[in-house]
């Protein structure tokens, strides 16, 4: 009986083991089938993506070929039929403006001087200098506005302070075109003429400037440094910084003027509320003299020895400027001046009149600077600098300055210095140089 039970138990055990092995084999086989199926699916997906990307690239290349072919055909038809097609979307008709400019060029030199503030020969000279920067390439679509017309548009705007709309109607062009021309011509003038016309004199030119001021009774002087205000519209950012002592918004133009009424150094865009002495310390000429050349603006070998004092070539400044080795200012008006000191002050005042005359001619030629303008603060400095360069060209070519241009300006504009406070007298070497210059004046 026991033997039969053991036999039955072993038979059951053997049967279960055989069943488990069969189940495991089927499970493993199923897993292998699933893995193989997944691998085949992923391979097909990758193949599909590869073929789709290749097809997309082929369609893109085909589209580009069709696009190039169409553009080539359009351009070819335009070149062939361009003389007869109407380009109404490219520009508006401005025949009256073109007729005005054509008839204006036939006028005499007085007409050029009256309206463009320079003679025709000076205009042609400037136009030729700016031609590489202003002349646009001619294409088969339409002829560009020539460089002479571009220059005339901007000079007219500078001289009359007209609105863009008025200048656009006058010359038969668009308002936005006038705005673009102002920026383009201003950039061309700065890039082409600034380094050639605005620079501190050296060599023979320095000797000529010193001789020119010596004839005015100011020995060892090479220029006058002064500042004026250029009125502007109140800017959006920090408008109180641009509010000057007359209650108007402006920027300060600091300039050095030589004996020929030309500008040899300019510094512009400082807010109108800034004191002249602070404008000076922020300018490039101050950094050049004080930091780069150890307190001298001109070569030391040009100095003269007077009473054992080296008198360097210097500038003359107003009472708002500090007394320096390279800037001579008047003696303080304290009511106790000697006769020699009063004579010194009178000579300096006479020399400063050169700067006032130069600023008057600058604003007289370019009315844009005499009245409040609506140009952005970031652009006004470039335009003022361009006007100074054009002023130098007119002065060097001896163009006439008509009396009717020198009109009485608004009180807000006629500011020669923000603050006329005196520096209280000089000390040390600068004071000794001033006394030596006074001795030179008394000896001449």
Average the pLDDT over each of 22-36, 199-213, 236-250, 355-369 and give the range with the smallest value.
Answer: 22-36
**33 confidence band (pLDDT: 50, 70, 90):** confident
DSSP class of 88:
T
Predicted pLDDT at 324: 94
- What average pLDDT score do residues 419-435 get? 67
Domain boundaries, the chain: 1-48, 95-196, 199-443
Report the 3 state secondary structure along 160-172.
Answer: HCCCHHHHHHHHC
Given a cut of 50, whether residue 423 has pLDDT beyond it is no
Buried b (16+ CB within 10 A) or exposed e, 247-265: ebbbbbbbbbbbbebbbbb
Quick one: what percent of the chain has pLDDT higher than 90? 52
Report the 3 state secondary structure along 144-203.
Answer: CCCHHHHHHHHHHHHHHCCCHHHHHHHHCCCHHHHHHHHHHHHHHHHHHHHHHHCCCCCH
Q: Give CA–CA dist 172/157, Å, rounded.
A: 14
Chain segment 178-204, per-residue pLDDT in tens: 999 999 999 999 999 999 999 999 999
Predicted pLDDT at 21: 65
Q: Give CA–CA dist 315/309, Å, rounded.
A: 17
Given a cut of 70, whether residue 391 has pLDDT beyond it is yes
Q: Are 421 and 387 in contact (CB under 8 A)?
A: no
Q: Give CA–CA dist 397/393, Å, rounded.
A: 6
Predicted pLDDT at 294: 85
**421 confidence band (pLDDT: 50, 70, 90):** very low
Predicted pLDDT at 418: 42
384 Cβ contact partners less than 8 Å away, ≥ 6 residues apart: 230, 251, 253, 266, 268, 269, 369
212 Cβ contact partners less than 8 Å away, ≥ 6 residues apart: 258, 259, 260
Predicted pLDDT at 416: 46
**The two structure tokens encoding residue 394:** 């007119």
Average the pLDDT over each of 307-316, 400-409, 418-427 and give the range with the smallest value.
Answer: 418-427
Chain segment 63-120, per-residue pLDDT in tens: 889 889 888 888 887 776 654 455 554 555 555 556 788 888 888 888 899 999 999 9
**413 confidence band (pLDDT: 50, 70, 90):** very low
Average the pLDDT over each of 101-115, 179-193, 277-291, 419-433 and give the range with the smallest value.
Answer: 419-433
C-alpha dihedral (312, 316, 322, 324), degrees to nearest 10: 0
Query: Measuring CA to CA, how many Å separate 418 from each of 2, 51, 184, 318?
Result: 130, 77, 32, 11
Half-sphere exposure of 186 (CA within 13 A, CB side): 18
Given a cut of 80, whether residue 286 has pLDDT beyond it is yes
Q: Which residue did the predictor score with more confidence, 24 or 38?
A: 38
């Amino acid at each position: 009986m026991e033997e039969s039970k053991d036999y039955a138990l072993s038979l059951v055990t053997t049967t279960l083991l055989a069943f488990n092995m069969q189940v495991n084999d089927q499970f493993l086989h199923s897993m292998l089938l699933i893995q193989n199926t997944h691998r085949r699916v992923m391979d097909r997906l990758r193949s599909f993506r590869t073929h789709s990307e290749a097809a997309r690239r082929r369609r893109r290349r085909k589209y580009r070929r069709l696009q190039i072919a169409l553009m080539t055909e359009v351009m070819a038809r335009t070149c062939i039929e361009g003389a007869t097609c109407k380009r109404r979307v490219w520009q508006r008709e401005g025949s009256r403006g073109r007729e005005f400019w054509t008839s204006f060029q036939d006028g005499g030199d007085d007409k050029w001087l009256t309206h463009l503030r320079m003679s025709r020969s000076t205009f042609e000279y400037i136009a030729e200098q700016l031609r590489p920067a202003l002349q646009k390439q001619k294409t088969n679509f339409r002829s560009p506005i020539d460089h002479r017309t571009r220059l005339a548009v901007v000079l007219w705007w500078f001289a009359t302070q007209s609105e863009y709309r008025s200048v656009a109607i006058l010359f038969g062009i668009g308002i936005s075109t006038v705005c673009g021309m102002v920026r383009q011509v201003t950039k061309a003038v700065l890039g082409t003429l600034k380094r050639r016309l605005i620079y501190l004199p050296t060599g023979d030119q320095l000797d000529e400037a010193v001789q020119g001021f010596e004839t005015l009774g100011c020995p060892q002087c090479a220029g006058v440094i002064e500042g004026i205000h250029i009125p502007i519209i109140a800017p959006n950012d920090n408008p109180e910084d641009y509010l000057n002592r007359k209650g108007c918004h402006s920027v300060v133009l600091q300039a050095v003027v030589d004996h020929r009424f030309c500008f040899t150094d300019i510094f512009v865009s400082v807010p109108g509320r800034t004191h002249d002495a602070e404008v000076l310390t922020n300018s490039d000429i101050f950094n050049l003299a004080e930091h780069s050349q150890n307190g001298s603006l001109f070569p030391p070998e040009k100095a003269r020895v007077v009473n054992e004092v080296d008198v360097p070539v210097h500038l003359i400044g107003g009472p708002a400027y500090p007394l320096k080795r390279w800037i001579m200012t008047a003696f303080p008006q304290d009511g106790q001046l000697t006769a020699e000191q009063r004579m010194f002050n009178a000579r300096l005042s006479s020399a400063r009149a050169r700067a006032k005359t130069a600023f008057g001619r600058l604003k007289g030629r370019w009315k844009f600077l005499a009245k409040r303008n609506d140009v952005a603060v970031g652009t006004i400095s470039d335009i003022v600098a361009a006007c100074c360069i054009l002023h130098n060209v007119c002065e060097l070519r001896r163009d006439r300055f008509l009396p009717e241009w020198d009109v009485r300006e608004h009180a807000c504009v006629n500011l020669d210095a923000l603050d006329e406070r005196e520096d209280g007298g000089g000390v040390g070497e600068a004071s000794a140089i001033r006394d030596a210059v006074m001795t030179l004046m008394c000896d001449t």
